[in-house]
Amino acid sequence: MRSIYLDNNATTPVDPRVLDAMLPYFREHFGNAASRNHRYGWVAEEAVEKAREQVAGVIGASSKEIIWTSGSTEGNNTAILGVARMYADKGRHIITCRIEHKAVIDPCKFLESEGFEVTWLEPDRSGRVRMEDLRQAMRDDTILVSLMFANNELGTINPIAEIGALCKERGVIFHTDATQAFGKVPIDVEAMGIDLLTLSAHKMYGPKGVGALYVRRKKPRVRLQPIIHGGGHERGMRSGTLNVPGIVGCGAAAELCRKEMPTESVRIARLRDRLWAGLSEHLTDVSINGNLEHRLPNTLNVSFLYVEGESMMMGMGDIAVSSGSACTSASLEPSYVLKGLGLGDDLAHSSIRFSLGRFTTQEDIDETIKRVVSAVNHLREMSPLYEMAQQGIDLSKVQWQRH
């Protein structure tokens, strides 16, 4: 049975064209980009600056506004902790959402332990932030709003331009974790009023362990207190010897996304819709989690009622999917994102995220439909709950006895 990879929101394979761009920087061009007094350093620095331009070009930024990081976790920490400490004199109130990635939630919780106040917005049933809730949460001492561009489990896209406009109006810095959106949907930091934006190479067919943070330079000029000290690299915001091969890969991956996004997004969205059409045609009691209008082209999160997600993943052969985000899937707790939408444990436990990618084929999708339908039917045949539901019994009203 051939393996099928549908977990591209967790990570993507490195595109062969990206690897080709990286290879010379492991061997011939191995210089340190901070070595300013010989050719090896100059060649490395030139490659790093080219990659900055490639990343900036995807989001309508200047290359001078791109800071290299080890990935989105570091980028989110740098943005959130950096703003909090730099602007603490102005205020100590931050706004975020309960279904953000842990790399946003945890730094915000850490700041709470340091005496900052965080407002945790509740999303609507589709995973979007309500503008009215955000407006009401704003205060005179609010210094930062951190809301993700697109949710990693649902694919739901937030009203980013509206959030940016409100933050501009109120003089509040706006950070967005765009890890899942970068390279999949159009982003314009100027038009959308974004002040800080996080991205990671390995979500867009680049290498792991490298990412970038966009930091606005004017209107307003955003300043960050660094969380890593030593050497003053990256405009003093992120010290450390630059990962030149990784940065070259990040730039090459971004450039490919910029060129291929218009056609790739359409192709992948068609495959996602084909997957849902096939599942919903052959199975009852299935539903999509997330927003059907504002969503990433590649993500489909489905609840299969009366089936436990982990059992289903084991039952459908070698198909790589997820029952939560990669950072939390080691736990058997139901997804906090789905619980945050108001889903009960039954639906949250029965949910699977399919995330398609550049190398997903129609054959992959058709084979996935076949295996998933077979696995769900097999598990439901063994489920007493499914049998009761088929008989018309309302399971929510059943009085279960304890022995």
Catalytic site positions: 327
What distance in Å separates the CA atoms of residue 258 and residue 261, rounded to the nearest whole number?
6
Strands 142-146 and 211-215: unpaired
Of 175, 181, 176, 179, which Cα lies nearest the Cα of 157?
181
Phi-psi bin for 363: left (phi > 0), alpha (psi -120 to 50), beta?
alpha
Of 170, 108, 112, which Cα lies nearest the Cα of 138?
170
Cα dist from 216 to 86, 150, 241, whole Å: 15, 20, 23
Cis peptide before 220 (omega within 30 of 0): yes
> Tokens for 199?
């991205």
* DSSP-H helix ranges across 114-231: 131-137, 160-170
Of 21, 25, 43, which Cα lies nearest the Cα of 33?
43
| Residues in the chain, total | 403
Is 116:83 a contact under the CB 8 Å cutoff? no
What distance in Å separates the CA atoms of residue 7 and residue 9, rounded to the nearest whole number?
6
Strands 117-121 and 93-97: parallel
Residue type, 355: S
What distance in Å separates the CA atoms of residue 315 and residue 312, rounded to the nearest whole number?
5
Question: For the stretch 332-370, what's the b/e string if a residue is b when 16 or more beta carbons lie within 10 angstroms of its beta carbon?
Answer: eebbbbbbbbebeebbbbbbbbbbbbbebeeebbebbbe
